[in-house]
Chains A and B, each alone.
Chain A
Amino acid sequence: MLIAQRLALGFLVLFVVSLIIAAGVDALPGDLCQEMQGQGATVETLKACREEIGLDKSLPVRYVEWLGGMLKGDFGTSLANGREISELIGTRLQNTFFLAILAALISVPLALVLGVLAALYRNGIYDRAVNVVTLSSISFPEFFIAYILILFFSVNLGWFPSLSNISPEMSIAEKAYKSLLPALTLTLVVVAHMMRMTRASIINLLASPYIEMATLKGMTRRRIIVKHALPNAWAPIVNVVVLNLAYLIVGVVIVEVVFVYPGLGELMVDSVRKRDIPVVQACATIFAATYILLNMTADILSIITNPRMLHPK
């Protein structure tokens, strides 16, 4: 029931997002034909171009046409080069998910372990060191971290390639090898948030009476934290982890540019720059859907870990 309600709401949000995007791209100065022809545009060629791709029709007409196609599962074609959008997006979407999964596989376990350890040895040297390192890495801009990694691992040591130009025919191992530097960059960016939340929510619970009881029973600190505190701390941690997963999918444009990784972000930026509305719409819909689905997952997971939430007061 809850899931169905959430899904219905999600579709409503998607619809609103698509409206905002259509209006937003249309409000930008210039249109696709001007951007495609750049300095070389003339009045005549602009007119021919607009007629050919239907830009002479009004925005509501174009939007309704797009929505109609979308409901039938047809993304339409790119205005700029006439390619099927599903074909344009297909491999790029896989690449984006591949990078996100790789980064998540590294960063989530790492953040949880670091966070639990930080709670265990809180205010000690280890805790401070972990905090300083992760907070510094989140404070640097992504491209800076990326360049530093490239400098050490690719230019000086030569272990990893500086370009992550993966293609569909490569094996998973080869793809993972080529994508490791961007995944590490993303890891360094997201790990602090998840680690700090793990640490904070565990420490929060450590003041509760039942933990005091456990301490009085003579349990080891490690057992108290892992067996008693952590299960009750899951809800906020899961929320932060999922939020970061969403970031790994939708927020990686800069990393894509630095490593020349063929993901969805760059496609969207290029399309916004050229005012290719159907492609922007398709990307935005995918990104919005990712956010909605992941948020829903977070809610469901928190409920599973904490049955009390099933019965709101």
Chain B
Amino acid sequence: MNEIQRLQKKFEAGRISRREFISRATAIGAAAAVPGSLFSGPAAAAPKKGGHFKLGLGQGSTTDSLDPATYLDTYMQTIGNAVYSYVAVVDNNGDIAPDLAESIEPSPDAKVWTAKIRKGVEFHDGKPVTPEDVIATYQYHMGEESKSAAKSLLAAVTDMKVDGDNVVFTLSAGNADFPYIMTDYHLGILPTKDGKPVDPTSGIGSGGYAVETYDPGVKSILKRNPNYYNDDNAHFDSIESLVIKDVAARTTALTTGEIHAMNRCDLKTVHLLKRQKGLQVIQTTGTQHYSMPMITKQAPFDDNNIRMALKHAIDRETIVKTVLRGYGQVGNDHPIGPSQKYFNKDLPQRAYDPDKARYYLKQAGLDSLKIDLSAADAAFAGAVDTAVLFKEHAAKAGIDVNVIREPDDGYWSNVWMNKPFCMCYWGGRPTEDWMFTTAYAAGAEWNDSFWSNDRFNELLLAARAELDESKRRTMYYEMQEIVSNEGGVMVPMFASYVMAASDKIGMPKLAANWDMDGLRAMMRWWMV
């Protein structure tokens, strides 16, 4: 982090005044680089300590557990971010910020990463956090018996060792984005003994809040950790997080003041919610996108002309307007969001063009096409509506889409990656490399289009190890172009996270990498 970013942080946190900020920024000749939005809006108010924060989330289940290896949805992920510390975290601008590590330095080939672990941080039970805990926690996810989704993330780690206060990670190949992997919500550092977590379900971490009561699928009560090392975070005295799955119940609870904030507003009624006094409706558009993967190993999707025909046969603008009620942006058939660092701005936006779709059908030697599309709202709220709208749009191009309604139950095991063409969503990944590696690299476990492109795979490896930003940009631009024009996934839209909160809640600029302020609402928000 450079000096100006540090100043900006201090200012946003209210620790220096506007006047002081400007004079110091001018002194380092950087005032021109400050974004204009910094001086406006509630973000400029200073955080205050205290208060009891009540949060209602639409996820969570009685089958949940505090073990970070099992986290499945926003409910446990936000709790994990409050209870545990990570080696690093993603800040609200999408950059890497230190957490347990004071610094993280790569070797020139990005193959060896050295994280200097902060001294004097304690777990909730008073035991100090050591570099050994970091290694044992990571091994817990990497081990033979691991059922953690972080296992594949850490597959490239070949060696970890303690060197004084440092943990030295050695990777099988260079990865410039390795610190982002350490921010994954599964990788909260656990207290360990003899190389094993003492009890991963105990909920003992070193984060800003300690678990007071935990009733899975009902509610959790957290208390501020009095020994938390970082005073810029964890402002509430206590937090009550409720599982409220019914969106109407969540909305009523917010309007009647029983909770202070909720996620996943009902887009059909959010305009009414906005009229309510004393409430703020907030949205962030980041990496969450809705997609339609085609299995490219199977006919007819093995022909790129067919894929291009389908990509031109969907009216994205209409779908964003109707299904998302405008709370989102059109997608360009690749998974990189407009707010991401290397988003390809030069790639023309694909538009609805039935004539072009017909042209591609002709190229494939067809006059008309009949395909099945499997859909269920388990993929995302509005997936079935999207499929039906697509059917109407595609009909104009001579493509007959037969929408098959699949059961929500078991959708991810039986439909996704099994049916040739289906609806899907991705919460998104914080970096280009991570997203591409997870779902587009040849042979990746979740490559849901079973797609393989030599040039793309070559670029992926090269860009991963590249520390030079402009070279990386060129490579990622080209990769987005390849995926958009040759890939097996339609990405019609990026969906915003829409949340609502009482005016009594203060928040800094929101992070867009996950729901609920990058899952860190409990840490970053405060009571005004």
The interface of chain A, by Cβ under 8 A from chain B, is 28-30, 33-46, 48-49, 51-52, 78, 80-83, 88, 91, 147, 150, 154-155, 158, 161-163, 165, 257-260, 262, 266-267, 270-271, 273-274, 276, 279
Contact = CB atoms under 8 A, between A and B. Distances in A.
B70 interface: yes
B369 interface: no
A171 B62 CA distance: 25
B5 to A, nearest CB: 33
Contacts of B146: 45, 48
Given A81-B216, A270-B217, A276-B63, A35 B413 contact: yes
A267 B413 CA distance: 22
A52 B145 contact: yes
Nearest to A88: B62
A273 B409 contact: yes
A80 B409 contact: no
B347 interface: no
B201 interface: yes
B422 interface: no
Contact of A271 (B62, B147, B243, B246): B62
A33 B149 CA distance: 12
B373 to A, nearest CB: 19
Interface in B393-422: 407, 409-410, 412-414, 416
Interface in B283-311: none
Contacts of B407: 29
B63 A42 contact: no
A44 B410 contact: no
Nearest to A259: B249
B361 interface: no
Nearest to A37: B149
A270 B63 contact: yes
B248 interface: yes
A228 to B, nearest CB: 48
Given A36-B72, A40-B149, A81-B65, A260 B256 contact: no
A52 B147 contact: yes
A91 B63 CA distance: 16
Contact of A257 (B215, B242, B249): B249
B123 to A, nearest CB: 21
Contacts of B3: none
A165 B219 contact: yes
Given A41-B412, A163-B242, A258 B63 contact: no
Contacts of B246: 257-258, 260
Contacts of A82: 65, 201
B252 A155 contact: yes
B249 A39 contact: no
Given A49-B147, A82-B201, A162 B152 contact: no
Given A45-B147, A257-B249, A260-B242, 6 more contacts: A28-B409, A36-B70, A81-B70, A162-B252, A260-B246, A267-B62
A78 B253 contact: no
B61 interface: yes
A52 B249 CA distance: 37
Contact of B413 (A29, A43, A44, A154): A29
Contacts of B215: 91, 262
A275 to B, nearest CB: 9
B340 interface: no
Contacts of A276: 63
7 contacts: A33-B147, A43-B445, A81-B201, A82-B201, A162-B249, A258-B248, A266-B217
Contact of A154 (B62, B218, B252, B412): B252
Given A38-B72, A45-B149, A270-B63, A155 B410 contact: no
Contacts of B218: 165, 262
B243 A260 contact: yes
Contacts of B61: 270, 273-274
Interface in B204-256: 215-219, 242-246, 248-249, 252-253, 255-256
A258 B244 CA distance: 9
Contact of B148 (A45, A147, A163): A45
B39 interface: no
Contacts of B145: 48, 51-52
A274 B217 CA distance: 13
Nearest to B146: A48
B258 interface: yes
B125 interface: no
A42 B445 contact: yes
Nearest to A162: B252
B454 interface: no
A263 B191 CA distance: 34
A78 to B, nearest CB: 7
B399 to A, nearest CB: 27
A236 B149 CA distance: 57
Contacts of B248: 147, 258
A91 B217 CA distance: 13
B328 to A, nearest CB: 20
A258 B252 CA distance: 10
Nearest to B257: A158
B151 interface: yes
Contacts of A33: 147
Given A37-B149, A81-B216, A154-B252, A163 B244 contact: yes
Interface string B62-73: 111101001010
> A-B pairs with the 5 shortest C-beta distances?
A80-B63, A81-B65, A40-B149, A30-B410, A49-B147
A39 B446 contact: yes
B144 interface: yes
Interface string B414-439: 10100000000000000000000000
A279 B63 CA distance: 10
Nearest to A44: B151
Interface in B150-171: 151-152
Among B152, B246, B414, B446, chain A packs the most CB atoms within 10 A around the CB of: B246
B500 to A, nearest CB: 15
B147 A37 contact: yes
Contact of B64 (A29, A81, A163, A259): A81
A274 B249 contact: no
B350 to A, nearest CB: 25
Interface in B108-155: 144-149, 151-152
A273 to B, nearest CB: 7
Interface string B34-67: 0000000000000000000000000001111101
A38 B244 CA distance: 21
B256 A155 contact: yes
A80 B65 contact: yes
A51 B147 CA distance: 10
Nearest to B213: A167
Contacts of A154: 252, 256
Among B67, B248, B255, chain A packs the most CB atoms within 10 A around the CB of: B248
Contact of B62 (A40, A52, A147, A270): A270
A274 B63 contact: yes
